[in-house]
């Protein structure tokens, strides 16, 4: 059904559908599909909203791919958007805390503080 839903997405109008697909595929444990949807989202012609970055980081954390989640956080920070949405690094902090990776929690918190947040 998710594949069928993907086929119905109108690239520029249905950007929120991509976010739903990211989290749905992650819940099913389908990392390859999560990355495929992410690539289609980036190529959709619409700006990826902060929600998209939150959903992608959350999806990767659920799948245990913290390295990729860190790379998505790097990509989001490199956009130099006005304001700093602390919810995005918070997703990664929460995920690290759930698995007891306290060093990484400290690193992300320090990284966020270095941005003046």
Annotate 26-59 with DSSP letters as a single string.
HHTT-HHHHHHHHHHHHTSSSPPPHHHHHHHHHH
Residue 38 backbone phi and psi in degrees, to 5: -60, -45
pLDDT at residue number 109: 93
Calculate Rg over the CA atoms of the chain. 14
Could you tell me the two tokens for 9? 């997405």
Alpha carbon distance 82, 96 (integer Å): 26
pTM for this predicted structure:
0.87
| Residues 55-97: tens digit of each pLDDT | 999 999 999 999 999 999 999 988 877 778 899 999 999 999 9
């Amino acid at each position: 059904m998710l594949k069928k839903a993907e086929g119905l997405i109108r690239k520029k109008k249905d950007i929120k559908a991509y976010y739903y697909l990211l989290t749905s595929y992650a819940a099913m444990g389908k990392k390859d599909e999560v990355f495929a949807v992410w690539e289609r989202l980036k190529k959709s012609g619409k700006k990826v909203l902060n929600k998209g970055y939150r959903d992608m980081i959350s999806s990767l954390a659920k799948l245990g791919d913290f390295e990729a989640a860190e790379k998505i956080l790097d990509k989001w920070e490199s956009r130099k958007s006005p304001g700093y949405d602390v919810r995005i690094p918070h997703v990664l902090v929460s995920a690290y805390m759930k698995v007891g990776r306290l060093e990484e929690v400290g690193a992300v918190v320090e990284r966020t503080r270095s941005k003046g947040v």
